[in-house]
Amino acid sequence: MSIHKVTNTFVGNGSALEADVNTLTPGKLGLFTMGNTALTTAYVASSATQKIQVSETFADGSFKKSMWIDGSSVISARAEGYAPATREVWAIGYDRKAAAGSIEVNNASDYTASILFKNDKSLYSERPEMLRINFTSSATATQLSIATQVAAAINNGGFKTLVKAIVVGNGTGVYGLTAATAWGVEITALDINQFRSSTYKENRVYFSVQVDDSTGFGSSTACTQISANNPGEGTYNYIYNKENFDYQYEGLSNRRLWPAQQVSFNVSNAGYLTAAIVPTVTGVVGEDTVTFSATVAAIIRPGELVELNGNMYEVKYFISATVAVLTTVVPAIAALSAVKLKYFYSLLIVEFTDNSFTSGADVISVARKSVYIATPAINAGAAYTAIATGSTEGAALLTNLNAWLATTPAAPVLTFAV
């Protein structure tokens, strides 16, 4: 017996909804009534608008349709605005976000720390993996030398494809190492290969770090979490995996046949860039921090993908209200003046029951089902504020679905929460 709730997933391209069921355009979504007309009116019991259906058309002209959604059986509906995913980041010693912390120095001493990975490796049973860090400090150790040893143990260890470590300080210049008086190691989760055809779930690296205070680290070495892993909402990976997994409900049940079965996807990994945002942002070549104006910083979230003069960066976290740490250093490019944000999808989810009567047994079978609609968070080139209203397609979906849902017994209301 399957424990999964039956779901259908539909992905649009942001353009206007289909207007005619007989003329379907590749990439577009449609909302249709039982009368095969575009949904523009409210739910009315025992009429053509009692049930509605979502359609999606692919590039080759093929299409799929959702289960019929009976307004009288709607349980709930919600809308989620796009939210970027964030990475797991930890610090041993100096923490740039908290602007505090240091490493206890003990000469010629054994130092032990560990990184426990929580994105378990599945092999018949789930077992967490751990990187054990162990070294002996020099006879003339310093915070910097110990931090360098920790970073080297991580970057040269067996888990170097999962995490990366850099040495940081409380000074100025690259990573704050110039004239620093406190040093530390910043450990960041990396992107890893995905096995989407078989797992249907994004494998994100997340972990915890511990220092053994019975060793040279002592009781005064700081060990802090800077940023927690969060998969976000409406990201490319999430939508791809959701669309892929739900093909089982479209009849794709055996992925081990040869030649492999081919399926179509409308999800795009290109994203949707906003219009340029001003005032400007400043940065220094070779450093991984940039300073946004207060206006820009107020709307940038950790994990956000930002385009600075044609180069794409990811905001790892904020040090202050305006200073952000990027996942990479700024290369030798022109002054960082133009800022654009890259968004992906907002989600609409309608949950309902599918009731069927078993003839002769007087038994009603109640199955809870859902339809997911992924729509671009904005039209390409739109203002970042448009994420609250959505793309042309998203705005139409909100308008048409809300008009229909308002008169159903459950009467849920959809708004893109961001």
Query: Is the pLDDT at 257 greater than 50, yes or no?
Result: yes
pLDDT at 314: 96
What digits encode the pLDDT tens for the residues 19-36? 999 889 999 999 999 999
Q: Are residues 114 and 212 in the same domain?
A: yes
Is residue 65, in this structure, part of any structural domain at all? yes
| Domain end (from 203, 227, 251) | 227
pLDDT at 123: 44
Is residue 413, in this structure, part of any structural domain at all? no
What digits encode the pLDDT tens for the residues 206-243? 999 999 999 999 999 999 999 999 999 999 999 999 99
What digits encode the pLDDT tens for the residues 366-400? 788 999 999 999 999 999 989 999 999 999 999 99
pLDDT at 2: 47
| Domain end (from 227, 261, 294) | 227
For residue 331, give its domain range: 272-343
Q: Are residues 197 and 279 in the same domain?
A: no
Answer yes or no: pTM beyond 0.95.
no
Number of domains in the chain: 3
The answer to whether the beta carbons of residues 412 and 364 sit under 8 Å apart is no
Q: What are phi and psi of 73, to 5 degrees?
A: -110, 5
Query: Is the pLDDT at 110 greater than 70, yes or no?
Result: yes
Q: What are phi and psi of 26, to 5 degrees?
A: -50, 135
Is residue 71, in this structure, part of any structural domain at all? yes
- Mean pLDDT, to the nearest integer, of 278-293? 82
pLDDT at 214: 97
Q: Are residues 305 and 400 in the same domain?
A: no
Average pLDDT over all residues of the chain: 90
Q: Are residues 41 and 22 in the same domain?
A: yes
What digits encode the pLDDT tens for the residues 98-107? 999 999 999 9
pLDDT at 196: 66
If DSSP codes are grouped into helix, strand and coil, which group holds residue 3?
coil
Q: Are residues 71 and 175 in the same domain?
A: no
Q: Are residues 99 and 212 in the same domain?
A: yes
DSSP single-letter state for residue 68: P
Q: Are residues 361 and 289 in the same domain?
A: no
| Domain end (from 343, 369, 387) | 343
Q: Where are the alpha helices (DSSP H) in 195-279?
A: 196-199, 236-245
Q: Which residue has the higher pLDDT, 146 or 194?
A: 146
What digits encode the pLDDT tens for the residues 347-369? 999 999 987 665 655 666 678 89
Is residue 244, in this structure, part of any structural domain at all? no
Q: Which residue has the higher pLDDT, 291 or 343?
A: 343
Query: Is the pLDDT at 1 greater than 50, yes or no?
Result: no
Q: Are residues 304 and 392 in the same domain?
A: no
Query: Is the pLDDT at 37 greater than 90, yes or no?
Result: yes
Query: Is the pLDDT at 122 greater than 90, yes or no?
Result: no
C-alpha of 380 from chain center: 19
What digits encode the pLDDT tens for the residues 303-337? 999 998 788 999 999 999 999 999 999 876 556 66
Is residue 264, in this structure, part of any structural domain at all? no
Per-residue HEC secondary structure of 8-61 comes to EEEECCCCCCCCECCCCCCCCEEEEECCCEECCCCCCCCCCCCEEEEEEECCCC
Q: Are residues 143 and 99 in the same domain?
A: yes
**Would you list the DSSP string of 70-100?**
EGGGEEEEEEE--B--B--EEEEE-BTTTTB
Pairing of strands 339-343, 272-273: antiparallel
Is residue 50, in this structure, part of any structural domain at all? yes
Q: Are residues 217 and 95 in the same domain?
A: yes
Q: Are residues 70 and 160 in the same domain?
A: no
Six-digit token string for 264: 């179509």
Is residue 182, in this structure, part of any structural domain at all? yes
Q: Are residues 33 and 112 in the same domain?
A: no
Distances (CA, A) of 136 to 101, 116, 164, 294: 21, 21, 21, 45
Distances (CA, A) of 206 to 96, 128, 221: 20, 11, 22
Is residue 78, in this structure, part of any structural domain at all? yes
Q: Which residue has the higher pLDDT, 160 or 200?
A: 160
Amino acid 259 reads P
List the one residue out of 74, 70, 32 whose CA is nearest residue 53: 32
pLDDT at 256: 62
| Tokens 């609409």, located at residue | 348
Query: Is the pLDDT at 3 greater than 60, yes or no?
Result: no
List the one residue out of 215, 191, 187, 216 whose CA is nearest residue 202: 191
Exposed/middle/buried for residue 131 (C-beta within 10 Å: 0-12, 13-18, 19+): buried
